[in-house]
Amino acid sequence: MNHPDLPIQGQSSAEAVERSDNPKNYGRPPLFNGHARITGPCGDTMEFWIEIENAHVKGIGFTTTGCGSSRAAGSMATELALDRHVDDAAHIGQADILEALGGLPRESEHCALLAANTLKAALEDFRQLSNQDDHMDFE
């Protein structure tokens, strides 16, 4: 694939290119009860908003200042988390996002880590705001 927004031409899957061009759950949702914003070492900032109901992720949105790989990773993280129990969503990691995307260029794999960390931070924000200490396992 040859896509101008991705850092290394020819190394992105169709899944990654689709989510780069048309990210799912992009933007701040109208309702949320957890939020996080993290700037990664590369300088990209990612922001997540989550709406938790009955211990499940019922709404989620994200934004990023980063490149196409960052949009793809954020999009996939939201797709993986939606409708999951908060404990399951808290265990979504870099490898899960990369696998679901079919990989990213090596130089962009950190975007999946940023997405996973921002998702976890939003879930932790929800936990702290709702005093759900005994209902979520973040280890």
Instruction: Could you please state the CATH topology (level 3) that the domain comprising 16-130 is classified under.
Output: Sufe protein. Chain: A (3.90.1010)
The first and second tokens of residue 19, run together, are 């989510």
| pLDDT value of position 136 | 44
- Three-class secondary structure assignment of 37-99: EEECCCCCEEEEEEEEECCEEEEEEEEECCCHHHHHHHHHHHHHHCCCEHHHHCCCCHHHHHH
Whose tokens are 């932790």? That residue is 124
Contact 3, 68 (CB under 8 A): yes
What is the identity of the amino acid at 115?
Answer: A
Residue 125 above 70 pLDDT? yes
What is the tens place of the pLDDT at every residue in 55-90?
A: 999 999 999 999 999 999 999 999 999 999 999 999
Kind and range of the H or E run holding 122: helix 110-130
- Could you state, in order of their start, the residue ranges of all structural domains in the chain? 16-130
Both tokens assigned to 57? 């992720």
